Amino acid sequence: FISRGDTQEFADLNKLAKRFLHGGNSNVNGDSSSLPSKAYIEEVVQELQKGEGECPICLEAFEDAVLTPCAHRLCRECILSSWQSPSAGLCPVCRKSMTKQDLITAPTNSRFQVDVEKNWVESSKISFLLQELESLRSSGAKSIVFSQWTAFLDLLEIPLSRHGISFTRLDGTLNLQQRERVIREFSEDKRILVLLMSLKAGGVGINLTAASNAFVMDPWWNPAVEEQAVMRIHRIGQTKSVSIKRFIVKGTVEERMEAVQARKQRMISGALTDQEFRTARLEELKMLFS
C-alpha cells in the first residue's frame, strides 16, 4: 500500500490528478487509451474535495476508501473481498488487473475548520463511554471503540487524552504495515488500553483478542457490518469473557436505525417473502426519515 508520506503528498489533489493523467502507475496496461480521461479525473477530484460519492460495490458512502490505478474509488474491504487472490485481482468497475500494492489510500480533507479542542463540549454519549473506560482502567482490561465515522474518532481523541487514557487508532488511512503495527502495539503494550477503530476497518480479517470489551458508538444500518467487526474479538485464542455494549440515544434517528437493523436481520435469515424483500429498502428509508 502507499505509505503515509505518499498519502500526505497526494493530499494535494492536483498532484494526485497528474499521477493518473500521466500514467503514474506502471502496473496498469501501458497504452494511453487505458488511462482515465481528464473529465473523469476532474470529477473524482471534485468528489474528494467535497467528501462525496459512494462505493460502486456496497452502494454506501466511503469510509475506508482506496483509489485503483485506473482512478476508481472503492471501499478497501469491498475491492479486496472481490478478488479471488489476496494479493492481486481485477478492478470491479473496468476489469483492469492490479495488485494490492497498487491501491492508494484516498486522501480526505479535514472536516474541522475550527479549534475543536478549545471549544470542546462533552456529549452524554461520550460521558457515558468515559465512565465505562474509567471503571475498566484499574483492571488493565483493553477495549475497542467502534464508530462508522472517522470524524467522531477524531473527536474521541480529545477526552481520552484529557483523561489520560492511553489509546491507539486503526482506520482506513493506514496502510497494511501500519495496521499490523497498531494491532501489535495494542496487543503487547499494557499501557495502551483503548483502540479507536472505524467500523469498516474492523471488518477486515484481523485478530483483536487482546481486547475483552467492545463499545459500538453508533448503529450501522446493516447489522452484519457491526457483527463482523465485533466478532474480531471472539476469535480463536480469546480466553476472557467478552462484553459488547452499543450506544443508542433515545428519541433520535438511532432508535429508528435499530428497527432497520431488525428488518435486515430478518432478510438475512430469510424470514421475508420475495415481495417484502422488494419493498424493504423503500420502507427502511420511510422509517428513517418519517
- CATH number of 16's domain: 3.30.40.10
For residue 144, name the pLDDT band (cuts at 50, 70, 90).
Answer: very high
Q: Which three cell numbers stand for residue 207?
A: 485478530
8 and 56 both lie in a single domain: yes
- CATH number of 226's domain: 3.40.50.300
Q: Worst-scoring range by mean pLDDT, 54-68, 155-169, 178-192, 265-279?
A: 265-279
Q: What is the pLDDT of residues 170-196, one digit of tens each?
A: 987 777 788 889 999 999 999 999 999
Strands (E), the chain: 65-67, 73-75, 88-90, 97-99, 104-105, 143-147, 167-170, 194-198, 213-216, 243-246
| 248 φ/ψ angles, rounded to the nearest 5 degrees | -125, 125
| pTM score, whole prediction | 0.62
Q: Are the beta carbons of 92 and 59 closer than 8 angstroms?
A: no
Residue type, 144: I
Structural domain including 182 reads 124-246
Give the end of a domain, one of 105, 136, 162. Answer: 105
pLDDT at 32 over 70: no
Task: Find where cell 469491498 sits.
Answer: 78
Give the number of domains in the chain. 3
Residue type, 73: R
Nearest-10 crossing angle of helices 223-230, 253-269: 90
